[in-house]
Structure 1
Amino acid sequence: MNRKSIIWLTVLFLVVTAGCSKQQTARPAQEVVVKAMQVIQQDTPVTYEFVGEIIAKDEVQVKSEVSGNISRKFVNGGDTIRAGQPLFEIDRRKYAAAVADAQAQVAQAQASFSNIQRDVTRYQNLASQGGIAIQILDTAVSQAEQAEALVKAYQAKLEQAQNDLSDTLIVSPVDGRIGVNELSVGGYVQAGSTVLATVSTVNPVQVRFSMSENEYLKFAKMGTSPDAWGQNLKLILSDGSEYPLPGHLEQIDRGMANQTGTLAMKAAFDNPNQLLVPGMFARIVAVGETRQGALLIPQRAVQEMLGKTFVTVAGANNEATTKPVKLGPKIGNLQVIEEGLTPQDIVVVEGFAKTQPGSPLNITMIGLNDLTIPGTK
């Protein structure tokens, strides 16, 4: 093959290759099937959520006023109990003996006091007639006063012994539920130090949560006091369900915690069916300000990358376009958008992961009723 033929073959190959490349370039891109919805614009009450822990409003450690061995136990761990209900009994034998001994001492002192009083009466009659010296009467009167004081001392001792005997029966100080780690029969109890059991109140309960400094400042700058936003609180349980009874803010700490920079708070919720148990975690939802004409999109339409947030919208000719957005607070399953979108934008909710900027979209429009997210209501 001569040089001229080789050149013509090379030119022919380049022409054919260029034609194939043109055909491939001209082939239209395949449409990406997505679900999308138009940006919602409406007046929206803004809610704020805080993670909280359910705690007992009152948690009382039951201790004994007397020492001794537990002779009887009237409850089991986990029982629901009432204030004044017997829980334990300390061996009462030595305390009953102390009462009997004190009663005998009181009786003896009273008898001695009575005899001296009779002597005083006789000496008073004799002294009035000049039958005895006044000094004898004075001595008798002094002895009577001493005997009376001794009677009062023994009566106080008797009262203490009776109180000790009464304290051998230990009752619940509050309505609530008793812990499962209570002492058993035979265990020794040291007065004032041994914890026999812990009783936690169950109705109402409190939810302990914290508010960050920025959140506190946001409420303060809006002029919204805790008396306003803290009176109709909602509680979202760990399974996503809403607790049926509202709560109210009950306690606010005196200042920010040094280590966390948060303000501790406690909200109270009625718990008549004892559904709420101390140790459970839940979310407190507080209603703040109402935003006029707020722009809302589904939370799952928001994409995050390298600390930035953006969404995919249907641009001209239904082509995928990426827009950076500034997020506001969350409202249920929706997200408030403060910057980056207009009410006319159509936001891709499902399928945006398969798109690239400029990709043609095959759009199925959906509404709020189609936004079912597992684990939420």
Structure 2
Amino acid sequence: MNKKNIIWLAILLLLLTTGCSKQQAARPPQEVVVKAMQVLQQDTPITYEFVGEIVAKDEVQIKAQVSGNIARKLVKGGDTVYAGQPLFEIDRRNYAAAVADAQAQVAQAQASLSNIRRDVVRYQDLADQGGIADQVLDTAVAQAEQAQAQANAYLAKLAQAQNDLADTIIVSPVDGRIGVGELSSGMYAQAGSTVIATVSTVDPVQVRFSMSENEYLKFSRLGNTPDSWGQNLSLVLSDGTKYSLTGHLEQVDRGLSSQTGTLAMKAAFGNPQQLLVPGMFARIVAVGETRPGALLIPQRAVQEMLGKTFVTVVGANNEAVTKPVILGPKVDSLQIVEEGLTAQDVVVVEGFAKSQPGSPLKVTMIGLNDLTIPVAK
């Protein structure tokens, strides 16, 4: 190929390239398909969440009242037990023998008392007739009083022996669930010190949580006393599900902890199905003040970058516009917007990751009910 042909070929390629560039430049940008939602404006109750731990309302350590080897276990660890239900039996042979011995002592003392009382009656008749000295009668009366005291002492000893025998059967003091770390048969239990088992009540349970000093002050300044906000509490479990029953505040500590600076509280929740187990973590949700005319957007419409928050709104001519916003508290799946939006704005909920500022948008409007099904951005 000669030099002239090469030049003409270069010119032709240049013309073709320029034509393609002009066609591409003339082609309008492709619309981005998005789903958007009108900013909500409504009076909104503000909720506050506190991380809590579920604990038993009552947790009773069962200790033996008498010493001895455990002869029988009548329940298994983890069983549901009821007040008065037998749980363990301590070897009762020595205690049964003590009862029999005390009964014999009582019988002997009562027989002796009966004889002395008959003597007193005879001496009284003789003394009335002048047949004996008064001193003899007085001695007999004193012996009768002494015998009565001895009989009373043996009766008390018998009652104690009977109580000890009864205490060899260890019963549950409350309705609840027994722990799995109880003693085994054959092990020795020392009266008053050996913990044989622990029983925890299961219905109701308590949720232990803490409120910071600033939160307490905020509630107080808004006029929200524990008697007001603590009567209709919700519980959100660790898997995000809402517990079916509401609870109420039951205990408030006398002051802030010197170590954590928080105020400890306990709320009570019914647990008829025994779903709530001590040691579980959950979130207490309390309703505080109501914010009139609050602006709300879906939480998943919020974008975060370098510590700042943004949303994409549908601007003039359906173009994407990025706006910085200042957010307030969360309300379920929505977010209160303090600054940056108006009630007339339409925020992009799905598809904003594919749009750039100024990009044309093909908008499908959705409502609040459409937010119940999570949609990938």
Q: Please indicate, yes or no, whether the TM-score normalized by the shorter chain is above 0.5.
A: yes
Instruction: Output aligned runs, 1:214-293, within 5 Å.
Output: 214-293=214-293
Identify the residue that residue 11 of structure 1 maps to in structure 2: none
Which moves more between the two structures, 72-81 or 257-266?
257-266
Please say if 1:186 is aligned against 2:186. yes
Instruction: Output aligned runs, 1:95-244, within 5 Å.
Output: 95-244=95-244
| CA distance in 1: counterparts of 2:182 and 2:260, whole angstroms | 35
* Structure 2 residues without counterparts, runs of 5 or longer: 1-16
Identify the residue that residue 12 of structure 1 maps to in structure 2: none
Identify the residue that residue 45 of structure 1 maps to in structure 2: 45
Q: CA deviation at 1:22?
A: 9.4
| CA distance in 2: counterparts of 1:254 and 1:321, whole angstroms | 52
Compared with structure 1, are the counterparts of its residues 121 and 96 closer, same or farther at alpha carbon in structure 2 (3 Å cutoff)? same
| CA distance in 2: counterparts of 1:211 and 1:348, whole angstroms | 36
Amino acid in the other structure paired with 2:265: M
Compared with structure 1, are the counterparts of its residues 186 and 279 closer, same or farther at alpha carbon in structure 2 (3 Å cutoff)? same
| CA distance in 2: counterparts of 1:243 and 1:260, whole angstroms | 29
Amino acid in the other structure paired with 1:266: K
Compared with structure 1, are the counterparts of its residues 297 and 247 closer, same or farther at alpha carbon in structure 2 (3 Å cutoff)? same
Deviations 1:80-103 (A, max 9, x none): 111111111111000000001111
| CA distance in 1: counterparts of 2:374 and 2:24, whole angstroms | 43
Q: CA deviation at 1:51?
A: 2.0
Identify the residue that residue 8 of structure 1 maps to in structure 2: none
| CA distance in 2: counterparts of 1:261 and 1:312, whole angstroms | 40
State the SS of the aligned residue for 1:371.
helix
| CA distance in 2: counterparts of 1:374 and 1:83, whole angstroms | 48
Compared with structure 1, are the counterparts of its residues 262 and 23 closer, same or farther at alpha carbon in structure 2 (3 Å cutoff)? farther
Amino acid in the other structure paired with 1:336: I
* Structure 1 residues without counterparts, runs of 5 or longer: 1-16
| CA distance in 1: counterparts of 2:251 and 2:284, whole angstroms | 14
Please report the RMSD computed on the Cα atoms of aligned residues, expressed in angstroms: 2.7
| CA distance in 2: counterparts of 1:156 and 1:270, whole angstroms | 45
Identify the residue that residue 297 of structure 1 maps to in structure 2: 297
Deviations 1:231-251 (A, max 9, x none): 222222223222222211111
Deviations 1:293-318 (A, max 9, x none): 11000111222334333322233444
| CA distance in 1: counterparts of 2:360 and 2:196, whole angstroms | 72
State the SS of the aligned residue for 1:363.
strand
Percent identity over paired residues: 81
Identify the residue that residue 6 of structure 1 maps to in structure 2: none
Amino acid in the other structure paired with 2:193: S
Amino acid in the other structure paired with 1:323: K
State the SS of the aligned residue for 1:325.
strand
Q: CA deviation at 1:71?
A: 0.9
Amino acid in the other structure paired with 2:244: P
| CA distance in 1: counterparts of 2:288 and 2:366, whole angstroms | 29
Deviations 1:10-69 (A, max 9, x none): xxxxxxx99999998887655544332221111222222222222211111111100101
| CA distance in 2: counterparts of 1:35 and 1:374, whole angstroms | 13
| CA distance in 2: counterparts of 1:26 and 1:214, whole angstroms | 59
Identify the residue that residue 311 of structure 2 maps to in structure 1: 311
Identify the residue that residue 336 of structure 2 maps to in structure 1: 336
Amino acid in the other structure paired with 1:251: Q
Q: CA deviation at 1:355?
A: 4.2
Number of aligned positions between the proteins: 362
Which moves more between the two structures, 235-244 or 94-103?
235-244
Deviations 1:238-273 (A, max 9, x none): 232222222111111112222222222211111212
